[in-house]
Structure 1
Amino acid sequence: MFNIKEQDSSLIADTDYLIAQTFRKSTTYADSAYFYYQKAEKIYRNLGDNLKLARTIYGVAVILKNEKDFIGSEVASFEAIALLEPLYETRSVVETKSYIYNNLGIVFKELDEFDESIEYNKKSLELKYRLNVKSSIDASKNNLANTYKKNKQYNLALNYYSEILSNKDLVKERPRIFSLVLDNYAHTRFLSGNLRELPGLYHKALKVSNSVGEDDYYSIIINQHLAEYYFDNKRNVDSARYYAYRAKNISEKYYTDDLLKSLLLLSKIEEDHKAVEHFNAYIKLSDSLQKNERAIRNKFARIRFETGQKEKENIQLTKERMWLFIISVVVVISSFLLYLVITQRNNNIELKFVQKQQETNEEIYNLMLSQNESIEEARDLEKKRISQELHDGVLGRLFGTRLSLDSLNRNNSEEAIKSRDLYITELKTIEEEIRKVSHELNTDFVSGSGFIDIIKTLVETQTLAYGLGYDLKHDESISWDDVNNKKKIHIYRIIQETLHNIYKHANAEHVNISLELKNDVICLSIIDNGSGYDVEKARSGIGLKNMNSRINEINGILKITSIKNQGTTVMIEVPMI
């Protein structure tokens, strides 16, 4: 199926072919016809349309035949036949073959190779019988009869002429063909020595030809044949002279071989200086026609040469364009590969950076935990020291005081007894309170409280720096010791990144941060009262990409909702395990 470019090329070639056909019908524009045939031929070759290519080459063969380049016409005809041989024999293919064989029949007749001429005329006739076009069949029969006539096989020629003339309607349907065939029939009888019905047959043919047009081209040959008939054996020299001049006058309009024949005939019929005059005109015209034929053949050769040169130039240009295309492709591919290498190298660098960052984060977090453990350890030691001091020092002394007061209680004065009882009671109260404080100081903190302290420190530090008020709520049921460091680092970083984004973009005054445990899922929510934003437009931001990347690494879920002038909510869900 043709694409658009091929369709355009085919239309251009069809147009060139039609122009060539129009010029070919005029004998004075053979070079123009040849030029346009060459243009069409080139396009059809490129398209691989062998049927149209064969028709075009046949047109070239006909022009070469008309210009008497019979060898060139023969070569072109066989090339056209070779193109048609592999094709399925549609009506168009058969019709084109019949025309080419017909041309070969005429060419071989002009070369006096009569056996080949008869062979190809018969091949043409056979194909035309299949097409069943009466006019075309009659044309081939006439060509075949002309070959037999030139080869002096007069009886065979007369048979074919008679077959054509047997059509009673021929004179009405195609009067020119009727006059042409009848003249050929009469002339064959003249050449064979059978003069019966002559010159009546000639006159009948001339009358029909004149009925079409008095100066009809076909009448030239009939007038010549009449002149030959009357000049033969000096039957009637005046009539011979009349018809010879008649043929000359008509043929002068066409300036072809028919005029040459008329001048030669007059040089034979006329006498003395007139005969010489016509013969000189014949020589001059013959030289002129030969020069013209050579000029036309040279022009054809020049057209072929220039076309060949253009084709070579086009081939060279095509090669140059191909090399340019190849070089361009190589450059593009090389650039693309270089881009891939650079991109891959950058990706590797980025990956190494991310890995290093993760290692650094782990190290930072471990340092933070280590620092926090050191702090906790110091706290524990201090608590134990205070507890020991309270227990061993203060309590001991209070206990001694109580015993002393208890011993003083032997003073039995009523007032002394009341005072001592009050002191003892008060000491017991102090003792219980100190014991309670000592017990609480000596009790361990809730396990995992270190990570929450880190989060508190982060929130306090950043909100203070950003000028934000905050509320931080955390679910004490979350066992942070069971959460791996990677998740805790990413939760820490997400809170840090979100607070930074709030400060940078939200213009908020307050933020609520909440950590809850729901069905073994840690739920982090960060809500600000800022200006809000279009979530869809902000999806390509680096900060958001980093948050998504972190959430994906710990198999979490990130949800962000925002309303203009009402604030933004960041919700994160991370499984405990």
Structure 2
Amino acid sequence: MKKIDSLKQFVISAKEQDSSSIAEAHYIIAEYYRKATPLTDSAFYYYHKAEKIFKQLNTNYQLALTLYGVAVIQKNEKDFIGSEVSCVEALSLLDPIKETDDIINLKSYIYNNLGIVFKELEQYDESIKYHKKSFQLKEKLKGDNKETIDISKINLANTYKNAQQFDLALNYYNQVLDNKKLINERPGFYALVLDNYAHTLYLSKKHKKLPGLYFKALKISDSISYKGYNSIVINQHLAEYYNDKGNKELAKYYAYIAKDISEKYHNDDLLKSLLLLSKIEEGEMSAKHLKSYIKLNDSLQKNERTIRNKFARIRFETSQIEEENVQIAKERTWFLIISLVLIIASFLLYLVITQRNKNKELQFIQEQQETNEEIYNLMLSQNEKIEEARTLEKKRISQELHDGVLGRLFGTRLSLDSLNMSSSADAIKTRNQYIKELKNIEDDIRKVSHELNADFVAGSGFIDIIKTLVEALATVYNLSYKLEYDDIINWEDISNKKKIHIYRIIQEALHNIYKHAQATSVIVSFELKKNAIWLALIDNGIGFDINKAKSGIGLKNMNSRIKEINGIINIKSEKEIGTTVMIQVPIT
């Protein structure tokens, strides 16, 4: 405590000097609390005070040292995520600094801490990666660094052991144990390494040297001045070994020794001893130890949460420079957000305007199409009226010829026939000539009458419209054409919807022929087969690949129209020969 008091007095006197001295004093006090006392919250408090001043001074190396101290405390209190964050921040501060021995040494300690953190999180690949980085950095340091390199090797070995990569773990343990001087120079460390080596043999089912290695490690541990704490794990391993061998008495003996020693520290080692005894003991004793284990585990977890909350409250204290940095960051963030919002809003407005124009264009096209269809319907309707008037007029003329002219001619023929009773040869000859001529006239008039009165092909007006369309487009597109159709097709029985779509399909097909086929002639034909109209369009163009052309707008439009009238389309095309489009449209 005298040392703490003198350090605090140093802080008071440092206030009269400069910020750097104050920060250094806070750091020294934090280091003392971390290494020499169990008061981790006090250590964290002084680290944080030092951290704030170092940030103001932009002394990155001292700030990184402070963050490393914080990371170690966080790791010890099982705040592994917080420890990782502190380590990463410390490394980011060191990266721009030129590598000296001090920088390399600090980096090696930070990587070592990260390796332990990830081992505790059971992320062994990450742990191995960071331990190897620490090991590589230590090898670059000048002077004798064997002790610290050995620590990295043991940390690597421990991680490999936990990852169940026992051969690799044994290799690193052997590298350290091969140093014959180690048992005399660092007997406590030697005992811990030997115990871990023995435990790895146990886990890998290599029991030949056991329990001899355990006893050797225990003997060394008990012989040194600070015996006791280091022997807890060895006694636990012996209890585990004998329990596995079925020797319950020896298992209990060593387990209780481990428990008795660890009770002085009330930490994770006691927790492990209680759990081990709950497995070795039976009945009520096993239950008793298990209850003690659960109670202690809850207590330790609660204590860890309390300490982490203290850390959070300490972190909550912010310096003026941090507040200013936060404010600047907020202003920059808001500026960025507003800029992004304006850019996005402008882009969305552009999209809305563009889409609206497209919608108007589509609406115009749709209205134009509807207008075309209305005009076509009017054409069909007008044509039907003309055809009706024409038919009526033909019937009227036919009736007039039949009832008027033919009647009179028939009477004249009868009169002449009656005069034929004259026996004069000339009279008879003359009358016969007149009668013959009258018969000829009568036959001609009857023929005309019958032709005029014949029932013209129903719906022939639609064929006239098609003929007009084909003729007009063929002229525009410079095509020779041939239009063929069955007279037996009764277009009046076919709905206007189907006739409109047939009209548009022919129009689209002729347009496609002109645009893509490079044809010089086209045949358009209608046939009636199996209660369906078969429309064929044949050109002598260059042909095309049907599979590649399926996505074209022209074919899509044709397919859409054919689907509307429940039709079927079949296209055959050969390169340099031409294309045949065959469409079937059911009459009903």
Give 2:315's match in structure 1, choosing from 290, 298, 304. Answer: 304
Would you say 1:178 and 2:190 are equivalent positions? yes
CA contact (8 A) 1:266 1:275 kept: yes
| C-alpha distance in 1 between matches for 2:320 and 2:266 | 36
2:25 corresponds, among 12, 15, 40, to: 15
2:39 is paired with a residue whose SS is: helix
Deviations 1:497-554 (A, max 9, x none): xxxxxxxxxxxxxxxxxxxxxxxxxxxxxxxxxxxxxxxxxxxxxxxxxxxxxxxxxx
Report how far residue 73 of structure 1 moved. 0.5
Counterpart residue number, 2:237: 225
Q: Is the 8 A contact 1:154 1:188 kept in 2?
A: yes
- 1:46 pairs, out of 56, 72, 75, with 56
1:462-511 CA-partner distances (Å, limit 9, x unpaired): xxxxxxxxxxxxxxxxxxxxxxxxxxxxxxxxxxxxxxxxxxxxxxxxxx
| Unaligned runs of at least 5 residues, structure 2 | 1-13, 329-588
2:100 partner letter = T
Corresponding residue number in structure 1 for 2:552: none
Whichever of the two has the greater Rg, that structure is 1
Whole-Å Cα distance in 2 between the matches of residues 206 and 6 of structure 1? 54
1:102 positional shift: 0.3
Residue pair 1:106, 1:117 contacting (<8 A) in 2 also:
yes
Q: Which amino acid letter does the alignment assign opposite residue 188 of structure 2?
A: R
CA distance in 2, matches of 1:263, 1:313: 46
Report what 2:300 is aligned to: 289
User: Mapping of 1:77-92 within 5 angstroms?
Assistant: 77-92=87-102
* 1:275 aligned to which of 264, 286, 293: 286
Q: 2:167 aligns with which of 144, 155, 159?
A: 155
Is residue 20 of structure 2 the alignment partner of residue 34 of structure 1? Answer: no
1:95 aligns with 2:105: yes
**SS of equivalent residue, structure 1 residue 255:** coil
Alignment of 1:489-528 (within 5 A): none
Other-structure match for 2:130: 120
Listed as ranges, the gaps of 5+ residues in structure 1 are 320-577
1:200 and 2:208 matched = no
Q: CA deviation at 1:233?
A: 3.2
TM superposition shift of 1:171? 0.9
- TM-score w.r.t. structure 2 length? 0.51
Paired residues of 2:15 and 2:22 also in contact (CA < 8 A): no
Q: CA deviation at 1:312?
A: 7.5
Contact 2:41 2:311 in 1 (8 A): yes
* Count of paired positions: 312
1:114 Cα deviation (Å)? 1.1
Partner residue in 1 for 2:202: 190
Question: Identity across aligned pairs (percent)?
Answer: 62
User: How far apart, in 2, do the equivalents of 1:287 and 1:76 lie?
Assistant: 27
Change (3 A) 1:274 1:52: same
Q: Which of 181, 193, 217 pairs up with 1:169? A: 181
Q: Over the residues paired in the alignment, what is the CA RMSD in angstroms?
A: 2.1
Q: Report the alpha carbon displacement of residue 65 of structure 1 after superposing the two structures with TM.
A: 0.5
Q: Structure 1: which amino acid aligns with 2:267?
A: T
Q: Decide whether the 8 Å contact of 1:215 with 1:250 is kept in 2.
A: no
Relative distance call for 1:159 and 1:268 in structure 2 (3 A) is same
Q: 1:10 to 1:167 in 2, by over 3 A?
A: same
What SS class does the counterpart of residue 255 from structure 2 fall into? helix
Contact 1:241 1:269 in 2 (8 A): yes
Deviation at 1:137, TM superposition (A): 0.3
Give, in angstroms, the shift of residue 19 of structure 1: 1.0
Q: Which residue of 2 aligns with 1:57?
A: 67
Alpha-carbon distance between aligned partners in 2 of 1:54 and 1:304, rounded to the nearest angstrom:
16
Cα-to-partner distance string for 1:383-403 (whole Å, 9 max, x where unaligned) = xxxxxxxxxxxxxxxxxxxxx
Residue 241 of structure 1 deviates from its aligned partner by 0.6
Q: In the alignment, is the contact (CA less than 8 A) between 2:44 and 2:311 conserved in 1?
A: yes
- State how far apart, in whole Å, the 1-side matches of 2:229 and 2:67 are: 27
> How far 1:14 sits from its partner (Å)?
1.3
Q: CA deviation at 1:46?
A: 1.1
Match of 1:140 among 122, 134, 152: 152
Determine the C-alpha separation between the residues in 1 that align with 2:52 and 2:147. 32
CA contact (8 A) 1:6 1:47 kept: no
Partner of 2:568: none
4+ residue stretches of structure 1 with deviation over 3 A?
Answer: 4-7, 310-316
**C-alpha distance in structure 2 between counterparts of 1:254 and 1:215, whole Å:** 14
- Give the equivalent residue in structure 2 for 1:212: 224
Q: 1:26 to 1:292 in 2, by over 3 A?
A: farther
In the TM superposition, residue 200 of structure 1 has moved relative to its aligned partner by 0.7
- Matching of residues 537-548 of structure 1 within 5 Å: none
C-alpha contact (below 8 Å) 1:64/1:72 kept by paired residues: yes
CA deviation after TM superposition for structure 1 residue 128, in Å: 0.8
